[in-house]
Structure 1
Amino acid sequence: MQQALDILKKYWQHDSFRDPQDKIIQTVLEGNDAFALMPTGGGKSICFQVPAMIKDGLCLVISPLVALMKDQVQNLEKRNIKAIALTGSLSVNEISDLLDNCRFGNYKFLYLSPERLQADWIVDRIAALPISLVAVDEAHCVSQWGHDFRPAYLKISALKKHLPQVPFLALTASATERVQKDIVTQLGLTDPVIYKKSFARENIAYMVFETEDKLYRLQQILTKNPGPSIIYVRNRRSCHDVSSQLQSLGFTATFYHGGLKEKEKSANMEAWIKDRVQVIVATNAFGMGIDKPNVRTVLHIQLPENIENYYQEAGRAGRNGQKAYAVLLATKSDIKATQSQFIEVLPDKKFLKEVYLKLNTFLQIAYGEGMDQVYPFNFNDFCHKYKFPAVKTFNALQFLDRQGILTMSKEFTEKVHIQFIIPSKEVVRYVSLNPGDEEAILTILRNYTGIFEMETALNTSLITRAAKISEADLIGMLHKLEQKGVISLRTLGNDSSLAFNEVREDEHTINRVSKFLEQQNLIKVGQFNSVVHYATDDSRCKSRLILEYFDEVTTADCGICSYCVAKKRQPKSPVEIATAIIELLKEADLNSRDIETKLELTAQETIFALELLLENDKIKINAYNQYTVT
């Protein structure tokens, strides 16, 4: 292993491997297949990058994440290691040229998505390359029981037949026992050596707090733990709103989401990485390839979609081994909101069939035709014409995409982008002078609060319905606003397209894939229920709940999660608390938050004691909503 250590020191400036990196590397160097389950922060990429540098030839890396592929290629190039990625809308000639570069250009790494393997000619070209190792990242995507099943991953086993002497390494950060077994089977791994690293993160305190005032709780947590922090939110608007609110409270904060321009993404990321700001508020677009070791706190202020995602995002805390916190702030209403966002928008077989049939009608595809044809497509017009709910329809089309029936273009749901470039008071003045535009402008302002700070993609169907105008009138008004210098406008027209990979066969097509839809829906419901269980079960150690989800059994509580801390805390009697409150209020009038903070009480303890004192006329509420001694 000395050669592997030398490579590690030369290119990555590390003096030793983490367990079990060295064992995985040795297995691969011996020419054997391997499966590695290494939770977030375990250093999966080193497991294939180091042996690839030792072996002659090219390492093929299959990954579903374009952002991660680009990030890894950039990091390898910074180390003067030649790497290439087949990403973006490349023509056949461009792909062919890049594969020629791999063959004759002394490249060490070729990254591509599993969807590329659906083209037989690409598989044939890859089989002719001097492949020394195949690394399958995010390997859980091959399993229909996983949280992110991608049918294209099933094509990888065919690639193995072309490269029978080449070792395959499957890697994932999160998989249950059932998914682990399915990965080995579906990828066709040959007697793989299995490596599993425990999901336990002894230095992370998993905390769940029920709170109605999340901003106040954020303020408390970030003040008490002033180190670098990530706050995960569900949408782009919340990134801006929460970041602004934290700034108004005196914290240094920035934001990150998929809608930012690359320059702004890089600037915001760098400010956080270099500790110029304490907090980065982000959607789940943030995090891939990020390895900032001193993250003290990762907070979620909405329920995550599943435990797998939560574990990976929470696992970005404490990678330096120091104590860190993974905090989930929740309310009872969050359960209904999350159910509405993730579960109620799942298409069933009947809806999927209706969308597929109407789609063929909309694009005028005759029965038995459509294969290998690309059609311009306006998603908003399609939903509006057939009165389909947008999110549920998008999920149905995405399912058809993942089943390989059709391919959606990347810019699918983004058609019109605007940003107000004059102050809000000037917009009010414009509206007063142009009353005919008032309803549409006010609808936009009501639905897109961050539209003065960033370019925003509009849902034109939403606006036209609410403002009771046609889409043509709306587009005309936006062009007028652009000409008058009120907004910046970017319209993409029929910016999206659909490519059909099969002929139209109506019921036969849907019947063939509907069993997978029903199965995936059941999995998503089960995953959601597991999240609810984690958030609401206050009788079990939070760390143990996570470990048990991943089929890792332990009999010991962690001692540092919210449940364990509460269990160790000596409960105070209501009389004792009430007495302490009276003594505190003799010094100054205070609100309930101040009382809770100063006496280190729970919200429930504070409320119960205050109600007790109010009922016995020991205290009263003054004009400033503070409690005072009577």
Structure 2
Amino acid sequence: MQPVDILKKYWGFDQFREPQLAVIESVRSGKDTFALMPTGGGKSICFQVPALMDDGICLVVSPLVALMKDQVSNLQQRGIKAIALTGGLSENETSDLLDNCQFGNYKFLYLSPERLQADWIVDRIKALPINLIAIDEAHCVSQWGHDFRPAYLKLSALKGFFPKVPFLALTASATLRVREDIVQQLKLHAPAIFVKSFARDNLAYMVLEAEDKLFRIEQILKKHPQPSIIYVRNRKACIDWATQLEALGFTATFYHGGLTSGDKAKNMQRWMDEKAQVMVATNAFGMGIDKANVKTVIHTQYPENLESYYQEAGRAGRNAEKAYAVLLSGPSDAMAAQSQFLSMLPDKAFLSAVYVKLCNYFQVAYGEGLDEEFSFNLNQFCLQYDFPAVRTFNALQFLDRQGVLTFSQEFSEKVSLQFLIESREVLRYMSLNPADEEIMLAILRTYPGVYEHRTALNIPLLSKKAHTSGETIMQLLAKLEKQQIIAYQARQNDATITFNEVREDEHTINRISKFLESQNALKHDQLQSVIAYVIDKTKCKSQMLLSYFGEKDSQPCGICSFCTSKDKPKSEARLPEKILALLKTGDLDSRSIQKITESPETDIIFALQDLLDNDLISVKPNNHYTLK
């Protein structure tokens, strides 16, 4: 069977994208391989197809729990046996899953690099018939990468355990420096290198000045009524922007890390089915998104780095038709980005304070805590210890990336109950209420101790067993509580914390703090690259992005905001003079200037910028322009 036969059998495609087939042939020949394929390039196919062609199991290392779950679910839906060792599993549960891998003819084992820190797990994996080792998100191995994780540095040890098994390192965004570091850190032996160009000929990168961003977005969405994504700063902004767009007559929904999995799926499906034109989202949105006809991706604020921006912008135009990646820039956005991304970075003292207080918060004693999992509400924690929320969030993310703990931001609802009436009364209730019987039987069969003590419920599991929705189960529990049949408690949490190592306070922080300073410096440099991308009005935006990723000899794209500004009509050459004459009569905002002059908005923006650059006008706090 040829690779294309596997592709057609399981995925229904007749041909590979460039350079998928070449990567597959490389690893099948036994060569270590490095592949850089920008977002949407189909990286997972590069290890899934060859693994299915050969006997044995493919070991996939990934730092992203959501991505692992998504890929395992997709494989299972295609009838392919796959398992993920995610956090929160007990040693016995992990051992059982590894037994399944060894004796159950599984083809894929997904796990995080932190899982490979446990010697007993590595010993079990050594006994598996591994046919390929895929390192996903391989930029995490480099200190110069945008999501460095020290646990990745230890993956090279797998080389010694599996000397004849090919390694495949995959990433969607890495500069030349990071690429070279990946090869070195993973100890890839004479690897075949595949680097797909970052160029997107159909994607117009637009950087637009906008004091009134809602007005500008309204114009864009009316001009391009196809599916769109708007990236915003935080969860509150998601709801605010979606509400404002609905008020303007657009169909909009939203997505952020604080939604339940059910709400995420519902909102996502509404957008995928095009019942909502616009998805307003934080950067939590994007994992596994493959909607080909997205026309515009709009960022309402500066991204943290160009790697993230390229990936998020690249979700537009995957159908090869012309699409737009728009970054809206207001007068104070550069300062706001500095405040959000740099001033809120934790230093060593703050990191130590957060870690110690977190252990105290959960009553984790010194030398204890390994594999313990806790429900966590960030706002409550910050209120109790008077910590700034954003800086605390960044500290927890750093501890997560260092493998000290797992900070899962999946919204969860912890449900526990105990029956207050005897079993014969429960049976009588079910006979009188047959519509509730299936759910109640599922609870009783799954949790036999539910009469004796308060028991935590797994709602998704019960939903599956009772063939109903989680919402229906929750409605029944509320009804049973009202009738005093059960004692019931539901607590909402916006995250879970799992400790991956025992508490050692200063020893823990001293060990990881060496990475903190270099990562903070890297974030500073990355944000400066973003600011340069926005404010530089002398270069093609596509060329600037390609140069950042090491492609130095590209040609102007002809369609970005810089390239199109060079072609503006000569009839608008006197527009700055018209604006100066208008401002002599009083201060005006850009929308008023546009209406009075009846000029295209793009021309107004460039004329105003010219006047600002030449220090002839200034902007007031109310976004009105005034003569100097």
- TM-score, normalized by the shorter chain, greater than 0.5: yes
Q: Which amino acid aligns with 1:574?
A: R
Q: Distance in 2 between matches of 1:351 and 1:313?
A: 31
Q: Distance in 1 between matches of 2:249 and 2:350?
A: 49
Q: Which amino acid aligns with 2:560?
A: C
Q: Distance in 2 between matches of 1:101 and 1:303?
A: 46
Confirm or deny: 8 A CA contact 1:592 1:606 kept in the other structure: no
The aligned residue for residue 59 of structure 1 is 58
The aligned residue for residue 148 of structure 1 is 147
Q: Which amino acid aligns with 1:338?
A: A
Q: Distance in 1 between matches of 2:340 and 2:33?
A: 38
Specify the SS of the correspondent of 2:320. coil
* TM-aligned CA distance change 1:248 to 1:188, over 3 Å: same
Q: Distance in 2 between matches of 1:64 and 1:81?
A: 22
Q: Which amino acid aligns with 1:64?
A: P
The aligned residue for residue 573 of structure 1 is 573
The aligned residue for residue 33 of structure 1 is 32
Confirm or deny: 8 A CA contact 2:260 2:411 kept in the other structure: no
The aligned residue for residue 614 of structure 2 is none
Q: CA RMSD in A?
A: 3.4
Q: Distance in 2 between matches of 1:169 and 1:36?
A: 8
Q: Which amino acid aligns with 1:110?
A: L
Query: How far does residue 36 in structure 1 lie from its aligned partner after superposition?
Result: 0.3
Query: How far does residue 167 in structure 1 lie from its aligned partner after superposition?
Result: 0.9
Confirm or deny: 8 A CA contact 2:396 2:407 kept in the other structure: no
Specify the SS of the correspondent of 2:44. helix
Confirm or deny: 8 A CA contact 2:156 2:185 kept in the other structure: yes
* TM-aligned CA distance change 1:216 to 1:416, over 3 Å: farther
Is 1:523 the counterpart of 2:522? The answer is yes
* TM-aligned CA distance change 1:201 to 1:605, over 3 Å: closer
The aligned residue for residue 418 of structure 2 is none
* TM-aligned CA distance change 1:336 to 1:413, over 3 Å: farther
Specify the SS of the correspondent of 2:102. helix
Give the alignment's TM-score, normalised by structure 1.
0.77
Confirm or deny: 8 A CA contact 2:365 2:503 kept in the other structure: no
Paired residue total: 531
Confirm or deny: 8 A CA contact 2:542 2:557 kept in the other structure: yes
Query: How far does residue 412 in structure 1 lie from its aligned partner after superposition?
Result: 9.8
Q: Distance in 2 between matches of 1:331 and 1:374?
A: 45
Is 1:342 the counterpart of 2:341? The answer is yes
Confirm or deny: 8 A CA contact 2:400 2:407 kept in the other structure: no
Confirm or deny: 8 A CA contact 2:258 2:410 kept in the other structure: no
1:324-335 mapped onto 2 (5 Å cutoff): 324-335=323-334
Specify the SS of the correspondent of 2:2. helix
* TM-aligned CA distance change 1:284 to 1:411, over 3 Å: closer
The aligned residue for residue 401 of structure 2 is 402
Q: Distance in 2 between matches of 1:195 and 1:208?
A: 31
Query: How far does residue 286 in structure 1 lie from its aligned partner after superposition?
Result: 1.2
The aligned residue for residue 602 of structure 1 is 603
1:192-203 mapped onto 2 (5 Å cutoff): 192-203=191-202
Specify the SS of the correspondent of 2:168. strand
Q: Distance in 2 between matches of 1:562 and 1:493?
A: 43
Query: How far does residue 394 in structure 1 lie from its aligned partner after superposition?
Result: 3.5
Q: Distance in 1 between matches of 2:330 and 2:144?
A: 29
The aligned residue for residue 229 of structure 1 is 228
1:418-429 mapped onto 2 (5 Å cutoff): none
* TM-aligned CA distance change 1:413 to 1:57, over 3 Å: closer
Q: Distance in 2 between matches of 1:341 and 1:535?
A: 17
Query: How far does residue 154 in structure 1 lie from its aligned partner after superposition?
Result: 1.9
Specify the SS of the correspondent of 2:526. helix
Provide structure 2 residue ranges, at least 5 long, that are not aligned to the other structure: 416-481, 483-488, 583-590, 612-623
* TM-aligned CA distance change 1:374 to 1:112, over 3 Å: closer
* TM-aligned CA distance change 1:82 to 1:334, over 3 Å: same
Query: How far does residue 598 in structure 1 lie from its aligned partner after superposition?
Result: 6.1
Give the alignment's TM-score, normalised by structure 2.
0.77
Specify the SS of the correspondent of 1:69. helix
Query: How far does residue 331 in structure 1 lie from its aligned partner after superposition?
Result: 0.8
Deviations 1:582-605 (A, max 9, x none): 9xxxxxxx9544456665652347
Q: Distance in 2 between matches of 1:162 and 1:56?
A: 18
Specify the SS of the correspondent of 2:110. strand
Specify the SS of the correspondent of 1:281. strand
* TM-aligned CA distance change 1:596 to 1:209, over 3 Å: farther
Q: Distance in 1 between matches of 2:597 and 2:27?
A: 56
The aligned residue for residue 440 of structure 1 is none
Q: Which amino acid aligns with 2:391?
A: K
* TM-aligned CA distance change 1:257 to 1:401, over 3 Å: closer
When structure 1 is superposed on structure 2, of 391-400 and 590-599 the one drifting more is 590-599
Specify the SS of the correspondent of 1:267. helix
Specify the SS of the correspondent of 1:6. helix
Query: How far does residue 607 in structure 1 lie from its aligned partner after superposition?
Result: 6.8
* TM-aligned CA distance change 1:413 to 1:220, over 3 Å: closer
* TM-aligned CA distance change 1:36 to 1:281, over 3 Å: same
Q: Distance in 2 between matches of 1:58 and 1:32?
A: 17
Confirm or deny: 8 A CA contact 2:205 2:561 kept in the other structure: yes
Deviations 1:173-231 (A, max 9, x none): 00111111111121121221111011111111000001011111111111112221111
1:63-74 mapped onto 2 (5 Å cutoff): 63-74=62-73
Query: How far does residue 256 in structure 1 lie from its aligned partner after superposition?
Result: 1.6
Q: Distance in 2 between matches of 1:45 and 1:496?
A: 28
The aligned residue for residue 256 of structure 1 is 255
The aligned residue for residue 471 of structure 2 is none
Query: How far does residue 263 in structure 1 lie from its aligned partner after superposition?
Result: 2.4
Specify the SS of the correspondent of 1:332. coil
When structure 1 is superposed on structure 2, of 351-360 and 543-552 the one drifting more is 351-360
The aligned residue for residue 444 of structure 2 is none
Q: Which amino acid aligns with 1:504?
A: E
Confirm or deny: 8 A CA contact 1:578 1:609 kept in the other structure: no
* TM-aligned CA distance change 1:155 to 1:68, over 3 Å: same
Confirm or deny: 8 A CA contact 2:139 2:182 kept in the other structure: yes
Q: Distance in 1 between matches of 2:544 and 2:8?
A: 38
Query: How far does residue 370 in structure 1 lie from its aligned partner after superposition?
Result: 4.2
The aligned residue for residue 586 of structure 1 is none
Is 1:559 the counterpart of 2:566? The answer is no
Confirm or deny: 8 A CA contact 1:596 1:602 kept in the other structure: no
Deviations 1:83-110 (A, max 9, x none): 2222242111111111111222222112
The aligned residue for residue 115 of structure 2 is 116
Q: Distance in 1 between matches of 2:329 and 2:494?
A: 40
Provide structure 1 residue ranges, at least 5 long, that are not aligned to the other structure: 418-482, 484-488, 583-589, 611-624, 626-630
Q: Which amino acid aligns with 1:248?
A: A
Q: Distance in 1 between matches of 2:388 and 2:41?
A: 41
Query: How far does residue 77 in structure 1 lie from its aligned partner after superposition?
Result: 2.0
Q: Distance in 2 between matches of 1:597 and 1:490?
A: 58
Q: Distance in 1 between matches of 2:203 and 2:497?
A: 45
The aligned residue for residue 424 of structure 1 is none
Specify the SS of the correspondent of 1:299. strand
The aligned residue for residue 22 of structure 1 is 21
Q: Distance in 1 between matches of 2:494 and 2:235?
A: 24
Q: Which amino acid aligns with 1:107?
A: Y
Query: How far does residue 396 in structure 1 lie from its aligned partner after superposition?
Result: 2.8
Query: How far does residue 255 in structure 1 lie from its aligned partner after superposition?
Result: 1.5
The aligned residue for residue 426 of structure 2 is none
Q: Distance in 1 between matches of 2:609 and 2:56?
A: 70
Q: Which amino acid aligns with 2:338?
A: Q
* TM-aligned CA distance change 1:498 to 1:171, over 3 Å: closer
Confirm or deny: 8 A CA contact 2:258 2:494 kept in the other structure: no
Q: Distance in 2 between matches of 1:37 and 1:375?
A: 35
Confirm or deny: 8 A CA contact 2:272 2:291 kept in the other structure: yes
Q: Which amino acid aligns with 1:410?
A: S
Confirm or deny: 8 A CA contact 1:64 1:138 kept in the other structure: yes
Q: Distance in 1 between matches of 2:377 and 2:26?
A: 50
Query: How far does residue 340 in structure 1 lie from its aligned partner after superposition?
Result: 1.4
Confirm or deny: 8 A CA contact 2:199 2:546 kept in the other structure: yes
The aligned residue for residue 12 of structure 1 is 11
* TM-aligned CA distance change 1:494 to 1:199, over 3 Å: closer
Q: Distance in 1 between matches of 2:556 and 2:380?
A: 54
1:381-400 mapped onto 2 (5 Å cutoff): 383-384=382-383, 386-400=385-399
Confirm or deny: 8 A CA contact 2:260 2:412 kept in the other structure: no
Q: Distance in 2 between matches of 1:362 and 1:279?
A: 40
Specify the SS of the correspondent of 1:568. coil
1:587-626 mapped onto 2 (5 Å cutoff): 591-595=592-596, 599=600, 602-604=603-605
Specify the SS of the correspondent of 2:67. helix
